[in-house]
């Protein structure tokens, strides 16, 4: 049964595709089939059927030309039963009423029930009450015409049962098609939403990796450039200081290379196992800020670092955010502040919030005006926004520059 049902389903799908490509073929086939099954017998027998004699005596025999004309009026409108179902039903019903007004009975009257089925399937639902009223009128007319051969009650029961069956079948098929169309639309919508989620996840991952790369490369290159300049200056006056600068450059380069390998390694893991959720582990945290300050001190800045509260208990995500904000702020100070600049760095845990302040006494004249924000400040604000916080940066009153970040420690913010 399985292969047979599969072949039938494929055959039905091919027929539906062919019908969508050439709908006139099916409409013509229906007309031809109705003609062969219901019109041709009346033409061959001249209207003399094999029914009960009382019924044959109750109806009128039409001439051949009149019969052909009535059959054409009943059958030909079926050609547009799907495109204009109400018009097809109206024409067939009018011919049907005229025919039975003359007292003639034809097998082609089945076209009226086919048109009612098509109206229920393809037409507007608000047209059905009018069609049912016309149908009921025609059925009553037929029952009265054959009342001498069949009781009116039996005739109405048979006729109304047939009409209701055609109407119910059309509505059932219409409902089924609507359900299938709804399922197909829902499947297409879910597929579109899935693709959108994938693209958003990819964009989010790219933005996260871009921030990581910016923080790693920007900070370490700034330190390396500063150390290289200092080493070149000290080569002639203090060769030992130049050697020390070269050693620090090597250490900083190795640190940057290790962090880049870690980030790129995570990207390879994500491409090899897309269903997993790899973490940037081990990622720097608050405990690594001291080493960060040591590297900046080696580059020529004086850094005073202090913490207030048990900052080591913060979750790993927030610790990484604090580290990257401090790293970006120190990098900007290293790039823009002059020689002999001191930096005061504090990480303060206050009840339900964490405040990070990085203040220096360097020149407030940065390479870009305050209102032209660079990628570093945007990245810091994006990181802080993950924890319901914000970052402000600008010149201090008098001299210097202040970067202040406030992070929300409430559980709702921490789980965003």
Give pLDDT tens digits along the chain (416 positions). 567 767 766 776 777 777 777 878 888 888 999 999 988 888 887 555 555 555 555 567 888 888 899 999 999 999 998 889 999 999 999 999 999 888 888 889 999 999 999 999 998 989 899 999 999 999 998 888 888 777 888 889 999 999 999 999 999 999 998 998 898 888 888 888 888 888 777 777 667 666 777 676 666 777 777 777 777 766 767 777 777 777 777 777 777 777 766 666 655 555 554 444 444 446 788 888 888 888 878 777 888 999 988 888 888 888 888 988 888 888 888 777 765 688 899 999 888 889 999 988 876 555 444 444 555 677 788 888 878 888 988 887 667 888 999 998 876 544 44
Q: Residue 45, Cβ neighbours under 10 Å: how many?
A: 10
What distance, in Å, lies between the first and last C-alpha atoms of the chain? 53
The residues facing 304 across adjacent strands are 344
Reference 112, options 41, 175, 160; nearest CA is 160
Whether the pTM exceeds 0.85: the reply is no
CA angle 197, 200, 203 (to 5 degrees): 150
Q: Is 160 exposed, middle or buried (0-12, 13-18, 19+ CB in 10 A)?
A: middle
CA distance 71 to 95: 9
Collect all residues with Cβ–Cβ distance below 8 Å to 344 and sequence separation of at least 6.
Answer: 304, 357, 358, 359, 360
3-state SS class at 358? strand
Give, for 343, the enclosing helix (H) or strand (E): strand 342-350
| Residues in CB range of 106: below 8 A, 6 or more apart | 38, 39, 42, 47, 62, 67, 70, 71, 74, 99
The alpha carbon of residue 169 and the mean position of all alpha carbons in its chain are separated, in whole angstroms, by: 35
Dihedral in degrees, nearest 10, Cα atoms 172, 178, 183, 185:
170
């Amino acid at each position: 049964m399985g292969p047979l049902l599969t072949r039938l389903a494929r055959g039905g799908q091919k027929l539906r595709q062919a019908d969508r490509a050439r709908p006139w073929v099916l409409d013509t086939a229906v007309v031809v089939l109705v003609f062969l099954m219901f019109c041709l017998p009346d033409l061959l027998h001249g209207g003399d059927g094999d029914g009960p004699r009382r019924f044959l005596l109750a109806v009128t025999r039409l001439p051949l030309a009149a019969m052909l004309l009535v059959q054409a009026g009943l059958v030909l409108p079926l050609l547009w039963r799907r495109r204009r179902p109400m018009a097809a039903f109206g024409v067939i019903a009018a011919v049907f009423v005229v025919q039975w007004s003359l007292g003639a009975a034809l097998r082609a009257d089945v076209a009226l029930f086919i048109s009612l089925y098509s109206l229920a399937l393809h037409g507007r639902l608000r047209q059905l009450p009018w069609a049912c009223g016309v149908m009921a009128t025609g059925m009553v007319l037929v029952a009265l015409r054959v009342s001498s051969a069949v009781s009116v009650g039996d005739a109405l029961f048979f006729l109304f049962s047939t009409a209701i069956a055609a109407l119910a079948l059309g509505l059932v098929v219409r409902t089924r098609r609507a359900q299938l169309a709804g399922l197909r639309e829902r499947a297409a919508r879910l597929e579109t939403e899935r693709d959108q989620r994938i693209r958003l996840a990819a964009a989010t991952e790219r933005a996260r990796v871009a921030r990581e790369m910016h923080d790693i490369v920007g900070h370490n290159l700034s330190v390396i450039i500063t150390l290289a300049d200092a080493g070149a200056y000290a080569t002639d006056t203090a060769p030992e200081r130049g050697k020390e600068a070269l050693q620090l450059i090597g250490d900083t380069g190795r640190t940057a290379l290790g962090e880049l390998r870690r980030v790129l390694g995570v990207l390879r893991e994500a491409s090899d196992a897309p269903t997993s959720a790899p973490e940037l582990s081990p990622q720097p945290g608050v405990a690594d800020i001291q080493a960060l300050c040591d590297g900046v001190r080696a580059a020529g800045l004086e850094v005073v670092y202090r913490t207030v509260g048990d900052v080591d208990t913060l979750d790993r995500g927030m610790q990484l955010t604090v580290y990257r904000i401090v790293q970006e702020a120190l990098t900007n100070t290293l790039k823009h502040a002059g020689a002999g600049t001191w930096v005061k760095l504090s990480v303060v845990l206050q009840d339900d919030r964490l405040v990070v302040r990085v203040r220096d006494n360097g020149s407030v004249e940065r390479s870009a005006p305050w209102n032209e924000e660079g990628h570093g400040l945007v990245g810091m604000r994006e990181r802080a926004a993950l924890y319901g916080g914000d970052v402000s940066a600008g010149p201090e009153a008098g001299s210097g520059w202040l970067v202040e970040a406030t992070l929300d420690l409430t559980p709702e913010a921490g789980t965003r």
